Amino acid sequence: MHLEQRWQPRPQPRSDRLTVLVPAVSADGVPEPHLRELTVAGIFEVGLQDHDATLVFANLADVRALAPAGDSRETLHVGLADVLAAPAVAARLRAQLPPPFEVHDWTQDNANYFRAIRIEKTMMSLILLLIVAVAAFNIVAMLVMVVTDKRTDIAIMRTFGAAPRRVMGIFVTQGLFIGWLGVAFGIALGVALALNVATLVPFLEHTFGFQIMDADVYYITAIPSEVHWANVAAIAAAALALTALATVYPALRAAGTAPAEALRYE
């Protein structure tokens, strides 16, 4: 739930008043909370549930008035053109600033979230690898069935002088063609979907009447998508390698067909 949804929305949200309470303790140890009524100047959304539910921007003078006595801590935010350079810049600032200063970057502030993403990415990679392995096993099963069905034809080819290596090459070529065609189609479809997520997701939500990334369930309200061509190449290489391995056993079985035994009852 976003912060603005926690109070009843009014026709003109810019005229809303919000009471802010900051817990504090007086010098003699008596609880002395600070209260201040602020005017809601606007509503913003960053797309992250943690920030949308708790983050508020206010005038610095008002915030200082709410702070407990003697608490003068302030934060200075530094914006970078390249957000991925934040850890390196934070390390340099941390080395140059004296001990009273603390430097944090956005990767540290959201460390648990990114750790969960890394675990999910690893698990998704394993799941995709298992799916590719199942597809490779299907290629093995299909080629074995073809070898069994064409056993007589293979024997006739052998009697006409076809070398075992040539028979093996026929089935390797067939398996590689099927596998590589599937890899090419899968990569093309996957890249096309990844590049058009921003258009596809709203279309699906509007068509079927539901929200895919519900803010009450997920940390984000949109599906970020970025194609890393190195990952695409690695996935394609792994799929092609499994496809090539899947053709070895059926091809060896076809090359090992004995003509006399295969034609005995023909």
Domain boundaries, the chain: 3-74, 82-109, 111-262
Confidence of residue 1 (pLDDT cuts 50, 70, 90): very low
How many Cα neighbours within 13 Å face the side chain of 55?
Answer: 10
Mean of per-residue pLDDT scores for the chain: 80
pLDDT digits 0-9 by tens, 3-48: 555 554 444 555 678 788 877 777 777 777 777 788 888 887 776 6
The mean per-residue pLDDT over the stretch 144-168 comes to 83
Confidence of residue 187 (pLDDT cuts 50, 70, 90): very high
SS3 category, 28? coil
Residues 13, 209: Cα–Cα separation, whole Å:
27
User: What is the 8-class DSSP label of residue 37?
Assistant: E
Cα-only R_g, the chain:
32
Q: Say if residue 152's pLDDT is above 60.
A: yes
Structure tokens given for 129 = 């690898």
pLDDT digits 0-9 by tens, 192-234: 998 998 888 888 888 888 877 776 666 667 777 888 899 889 8
Structure tokens given for 142 = 């299909």
Measured on CA atoms in the order 111, 2, 38, 78, is the torsion positive or negative?
A: positive
Please report, for residues 18, 26, 40, 59, the alpha-carbon distance to residue 14 in angstroms, rounded to integers and kept in the order given.
Answer: 11, 34, 5, 16
The reported pTM is 0.58
- At 215 the pLDDT is 66
Structure tokens given for 178 = 């099927």
pLDDT digits 0-9 by tens, 63-118: 777 776 555 667 788 888 888 888 999 999 988 888 888 898 888 887 887 888 88
Q: Say if residue 185's pLDDT is above 90.
A: yes
- At 189 the pLDDT is 93
The full DSSP string for 49-113 is HHHHHH-----HHHHHHHSPTT----------SSGGGHHHHHHHHHHHS-TT-----HHHHTHHH
Contacts of 186 (CB under 8 A, 6+ apart): 239
The residue that leads in pLDDT, 248 or 26, is: 248
SS3 category, 185? helix
Residues 11, 33: Cα–Cα separation, whole Å:
31
- At 191 the pLDDT is 92
